[in-house]
Amino acid sequence: MVVNTPVAPKRRLLDVPAPLGKVVAEYRIEAGTAQAYTVTQGQYIQIIDVEGSQCSDFLAFAGDDYSQMLDSTVTRTLNGVANPRVGLHGKYFDGSMQPMVEVIQDTCDRHDSFLLACTPRYYADAGYPGHPSCSDNFNGAIAPYGISPKPGWSAINFFFNTQIDCTNTVASAESWSRPGDYVLLKAHQTLLCASSACPDDIDSANAWQPTPIHIRIYAADQTFERAVGKRVAADLPLRLTQESAFTPSIRQLSDHLVEYNSFWVPSSFAYQGDQAEYWALRQRAALMDLSALRKFEITGVDAFALLQYAFSRNLEKVTAGRSAYGCLLNPHGGIVDDGIVFCFSPTHYRYVGNCDTDGDWLRRVAQQQGWSIEVEAVSDRIHNLALQGPASYNILRSLLTSHNDSYYKLSDLSYFGFKAVEIENIPVLLSRTGYTGELGYELFVHPQHGSQLWKILIETGRPKGLLPLGMKALERARIEAGLLAFGYEFDDLISPYQAGIGWSVAMTKPDFIGKSALEAIRQHPPKVAVGIVLEGTETATHGQNIYAKGERWRVGSITSATFSPILNQNIAMAQVVPEYAAIGTQLEVGLLDSIKRRVSATVGPLAAFDPKKSRARVEISHA
Amino acid sequence: MHRLADRKSEDRRLANRKLWDIAGVDGLEVTQLIFGQKVSYLAPFHSIEVTLKRQNCSILRLCEKNFRISYSGPLDQIVTPLQRRAWIKQYDWLHTLFLPTEQLSTLVKIATVRPPHRLESLPNNQAVPACLGDTPVLIWRHCVAAQPTIELHFSRQSVDNILKQLEHLSLSTY
């Protein structure tokens, strides 16, 4: 029987991270055991994987007689997700649909709640009758509280790596968690909890070697930032979700923030909804936080040479005050990342892309080529807003002064141009760029001025119908405009010719990364990007198959899809074999199981709305 | 105090209103065909006021293809002939109560609302799923024939429960 005794608080624990706050109790759960403990409403529970790759199952009971317990099916149903995640769908519920615990922080982001805590039957069926199990360990740990034993407990199995594979099997593999990974839960009720250090050593779940788990209980009178930990490279540290300089202002207007590229961004805004935000963008103006973009300063005598080699565009044409959209390439012609290069001088550029690894990639390329450059990640001191829409010019123009305090004529800023300006004494780098297909501007600013800039733009824009824009509305707009998204239209195995940005590859450059591979690919890419317009009222989704009309075999797949309010049609971006990519080609999109329903579709330009980009490129007359 | 049995002119106006639910694969298309493209501009839980066959009509969008229409005429006779993949129903278990908009602030005190919805300062033409005590309701602020109102939707089984809670707060209904 396990004795429920917390570790003496003053004992130094060198094998776990430092506490996150005020600790009221700690428990070390030795490998292969389980322990029960109580928490009061509002306290926090941190479950730490001490050595990594160790599953820890979790039970919670509430009520005077512990009659309410965690219910995974209720949890999945109420949240609409497979496993709760920090944010709007972060709570675990009991059978009466009351929240029991809520995930506040999670550095692993890979858990299971489909399976029972491991059972004696599992081990017996595998040829290990009598092997210790979490369910038996739980029975022992909670028996003193009068809870009847079960042959198998429905638990949250933290750090247990499972998924439903293509054969409908619940497959498990080694845990993704590293030493020190943890989940931090907030107790929404006073609870009896039990945690295990799973004893499974007969498969890979705990990397074949059970190890301890450490529990910390934090006092209720403190708050912790909500965050999900993401790892993007072996040589980069874990990154926790952060707020931008604009997030506090955004939180006043929305309770629906989601994690995007390690930033909290609004999905949509209260009292508006994505439709209102979308129409504001298309008819008037919209303001959104794009601080999740990553910014890198590239300086040095060889800055031009580096980017000319690593970036797809010909930067000879991109002079000071100009920028260009393109992509970083790898040797096999795949897209490392898409982004914009801003030219300050031949020895000073800024790259704005999506990935934390971009800077390291550029450094490595420079080192391989023997070039003298510095690459500095500057995202922490540059946050950015996008002000987009037909009225964006009128909203901005009265606000701008240039550095010498003279009035800056915004109409002088051409498409993809940029300039250092001031807005009510706030230094801003203003570019005429965007991700919406509309006339628009991006404003790069130091975070210390973020909330002030947001307020100025909102208040100046409100009389002109400006609304803040969330990700749902942005997604609709960018698909209409045929703009690419990482992981949907491209990744490191997809060339620019397949992704639809072959025009951004300057083949006339004497040499650049991936040139020889791209020369071959360009002749006949395996697929090319097209836009398609679907008949009927059903919206396609990413990954759905595209067929030649009347045939069984596929010719491509959907990469992004939406209903276009302005076109009043269902549209999609897709990648199809070149033989079926001509404008006007009739195709079929397979919905459901691709057999029960096929929807006719017609190939069109990648950008279904304003394919010539006339709105974004509009010449603004001097006023 | 409630005055459900005390029909004044606005009571008659409101009492004649029926709730029609439309949903299905073609739910949006059907609603657009009848009311125009403007319904596609509505976000979920947003509504508009329109006129249909010279009668006022309130359209509340509940999801991409789901609409609830408050209308006193036989809307099914308009929808059914369209022969689209969408149904139209009057839920016999769904009950409606109307409150004056001034009582929204009191309602805010007793209603519980889950994020991302917000009830406080609920603008016109918006609805919020909420609970009064343990009873789920939909609280809809909109105009009926240009008169502002708060419309509550809930199960018929909960009528007594809801009325008791409103009486307790001295809220009056139409």
ipTM of the complex: 0.74
For chain A positions 32-51, those within 8 Å of chain B (CB to CB) are none
Share of chain A above pLDDT 90, in %: 91
> What is the residue whose two structure tokens read 């003053």?
A10
Task: Give chain A's mean pLDDT.
Answer: 94
**Of A9-23, A61-75, A92-106, where does mean pLDDT reach its minimum?**
A9-23
Confidence of residue A400 (pLDDT cuts 50, 70, 90): confident
Has residue A521 got a pLDDT over 90?
yes
pLDDT score recorded for residue A402:
62
**Cα–Cα–Cα angle for A284, A286, A290, nearest 5°?**
155
Mean pLDDT, rounded, for A126-145: 93
Sign of CA pseudo-dihedral B144, B149, B154, B157? negative
Residue A498 in 3-state DSSP? Answer: helix
A569 pLDDT band (50/70/90 cuts)? Answer: very high
Residue A620 has pLDDT above 60, yes or no: yes
| pLDDT over 50 (residue B1) | no
**CA B62 from centroid of its chain's CA atoms:** 10
**Residue B3 pLDDT greater than 60, yes or no:** no
pLDDT of residue B168: 83
Please tell me if residue B83 touches chain A, with a CB cutoff of 8 Å. Answer: no
Tokens 């006949």 belong to A524
Inter-chain CB proximity B25 and A538 less than 8 Å:
yes
Chain A residue numbers with beta carbons less than 8 Å from the beta carbon of B85 are: 537
A564 touches chain B (CB under 8 A): no
Give the bridge partners for A260, in sequence order: A263
SS3 string, A573-618, reads EEEECHHHCCCCCEEEEEECCCCCEEEEEEEECCCCCCCCCHHHHC
In this predicted structure, what is the pLDDT of residue B174? 64
> In 3-state terms, what secondary structure has residue A178?
coil
- Is-contact A395 A387, C-beta < 8 A? yes
Categorize the per-residue pLDDT at A131 as very low, low, confident or very high, splitting at 50, 70 and 90.
confident
The distance of B6 to chain A (nearest Cα, Å) reads 34
- Report DSSP letters for A527-541, one per residue: -EEEEEEESSSPPP-
The angle at the Cα of A105, spanning A103 to A106, to the nearest 5 degrees, equals: 90
Residues of chain B with pLDDT > 90: what percent? 63
Among A315-329, A588-602, B11-25, whose mean pLDDT is lowest? B11-25
- CA-based radius of gyration for chain A: 27
CB contact under 8 A, A275 and B115: no
A367 touches chain B (CB under 8 A): no
Give the closest residue to A107 by CA, choosing from A175, A208, A32.
A175
Q: CA A205 to CA A126: how far, in whole Å?
A: 14
pLDDT above 80 (res B6): no
Q: Which three-class secondary structure state does DSSP give residue A472?
A: helix
Q: What is the mean pLDDT of residues A440-453?
A: 98
Separation between Cα atoms, residue B85 and residue B107, nearest integer Å? 38
Which residues touch B104 (CB under 8 Å, ≥6 apart)? B119, B122, B141, B150
Residues of chain B neighbouring A79 (CB-CB closer than 8 A): none
Residue A517 CA to residue A525 CA, distance in Å, equals 11
- For residue A8, pLDDT beyond 60: no
Pick the more confident residue, A409 or A263: A263
Residue A93 above 80 pLDDT? Answer: yes
Mean pLDDT of B1-6: 36
On the question of pLDDT at A322 being above 90, the answer is yes
Does residue A77 have a pLDDT over 50? yes
Nearest-CA neighbor of A42 among A59, A56, A22?
A: A22
**B43 contacts A275? CB cut-off 8 A:** yes
- What per-residue confidence (pLDDT) applies to A10? 40
State whether A255 and B44 contact (CB < 8 Å): no
What confidence tens digit (pLDDT) does each residue in B84-126 have? 999 999 988 889 999 999 999 999 988 999 889 999 999 999 9
> What angle is formed at CA A168 by the lines to CA A166 and CA A169, rounded to 5 degrees?
105
Report in angstroms the alpha-carbon separations of A329 from A76, A131, A317, A336, A505.
40, 52, 19, 5, 10
The mean pLDDT value for A3-21 works out to 66
Tokens representing A566 are 């302005």
The helix-helix angle for A303-310 and A358-369 (nearest 10°) equals 110
CB-based burial label for A156 (10 Å; 0-12, 13-18, 19+):
buried
Q: What is the pTM of this model?
A: 0.89
Average pLDDT value for residue range A417-428: 94
Name A422's bridge partners: A401, A427
Which regions of chain B does DSSP assign to beta strands (E)? 18-23, 46-52, 55-63, 66-71, 87-89, 94-99, 111-112, 126-132, 135-144, 147-155
Query: d(Cα A100, Cα A186) in Å, to the nearest integer?
Result: 8
Mutate to test the interface with B, among A271, A279, A467 (most CBs of B within 10 A): A271
In sequence order, the 6+-apart residues with CB closer than 8 A to the CB of B156 are B92, B93, B94, B95
Task: Give the pLDDT mean for A570-586.
Answer: 98
pLDDT-derived band of residue A272, with 50, 70 and 90 as boundaries?
Answer: confident
Judged by CB atoms closer than 8 Å, whether chains meet at B116 and A275 is answered as: no
Average pLDDT on A210-235 reads 95
A565 touches chain B (CB under 8 A): yes
CB-based contact B149:B99 (threshold 8 Å): yes
Whole-angstrom Cα distance, residue A396 to residue A460? 8
A404 band by pLDDT with thresholds 50, 70 and 90 = low
Residues of chain B above pLDDT 70, percent: 89
Across the interface, whether the CB atoms of A88 and B65 are under 8 A apart is answered no
**Per residue in A137-174, pLDDT tens?**
999 999 999 999 999 999 999 999 999 999 999 999 99
Mean pLDDT, all residues of chain B: 88
Tokens coding B121: 């300062």
Do A486 and A354 contact (CB within 8 A), yes or no? yes
Mean pLDDT score, A502-508: 97
Half-sphere CA count of A333, side-chain side, radius 13 A:
22
Distance (Å, whole) CA A430 – CA A321: 10
- Show Cβ contacts of residue A377 under 8 Å, excluding neighbours closer than 6 positions: A294, A295, A296, A356, A359
